[in-house]
Amino acid sequence: MRISFLAASLLSGGLLAACQARTGRVMDPDEPVGVDVRRASVDVLDGMMKEGVPLILASAKERIAGSGSTERPRLIFAGVQNNSDERLGEKKDYIYDTVDTLVGQDGTFDMVSRTFVENVMDQMKEAPKAELLIDPEIRRKVVQRFEQIEGRDYIRYILWGKFNNAASDTGSGTSEKKYVLVLELVDVKTGLQTKKMVDGRKAYTE
């Protein structure tokens, strides 16, 4: 009798676990992007990047058009420095891929692959992470190394971002988070630096 009772308990437990298992479905292309309950979701990041990247590239395009040069300048994206109270985790790769796509769609710049950049940094004995290019000294060394490898000026622009957030309580069990993405673009030849800020908001119901 004990054995039968134990078997029945295990069986019912297994069925319960199966019933509680997460299920998924394929979303339609026109459905809104999924929302992360407590963190910046992909839809918030998408909006900020799609607004901010073309905005900051436009400032450089004006100077390029005025120079009369026909060569497409090369650009490195150094990633996003996360100053928020949230973990970006795998979203960092998503951010990189999105910026890469937006730069490619612009058609004015040639994006240098992250793999190439990190291989060069690895050869220099620097930690092979593109985010380190935010540091001016490492940036200078990497640009010089590319010049040595290619025998000419190779990198013209370095783009990076800083991500931050702030929360506020709006009352009635609802809170709001404001997200800020600051994009910075530096012309390594002239030292001229351009900065643009975009923001996004997200409301939470307790």
Average pLDDT, the chain: 76
Spatial CA neighbour of 160 closest among 80, 93, 97, 91? 80
Cα–Cα distance measured from residue 149 to residue 139, given in angstroms and rounded to the nearest whole number: 15
Mean pLDDT of 182-200: 90
pLDDT, one tens digit per residue, over 27-56 is: 444 545 444 444 556 678 888 899 999 999
If we measure between CA atoms, which residue out of 130, 194, 161 comes closest to residue 142? 130
The DSSP symbol for 87 reads -
What is the structure's pLDDT at 17? 46
Q: Tell me: pLDDT of 26 over 80.
A: no
**Phi (first) and psi of residue 124, to 5 degrees:** -85, 0
Domain extent listing, the chain:
39-205
d(C-alpha 112, C-alpha 149), whole Å: 14
Dihedral sign for Cα 36, 42, 47, 52, please: positive
d(CA 13, CA 53): 51
Both tokens of 197, joined, read 């800020």
Task: Give the pLDDT confidence score for residue 105 in this predicted structure.
Answer: 92
- Per-residue pLDDT band for 58 (boundaries 50, 70, 90) equals very high
For the chain, give the percent of residues with pLDDT over 90: 18
The C-alpha atoms of residue 171 and residue 21 are separated, in whole angstroms, by 35
pLDDT in tens, 140-187: 888 888 888 887 788 899 999 998 887 766 666 677 788 899 999 999
> How far is C-alpha 156 from the geometric centre of its chain's CA atoms?
21
Burial 153-190 (b: 16+ CB within 10 A, else e): ebbbbbbbbbbbbeeeeeeeeeeebebbbbbbbbbbee
Residue 76 and residue 157 in contact, taking contact as beta carbons nearer than 8 Å: yes
Judge whether residue 84 has pLDDT over 80.
yes
Fold adopted by 39-205:
Rossmann fold (3.40.50)
The pair phi, psi for residue 38, each rounded to 5°, is -120, 0
Window from 66-70, 82-86, 200-204 with minimum mean pLDDT: 66-70
Q: Which residue has the higher pLDDT, 77 or 122?
A: 77
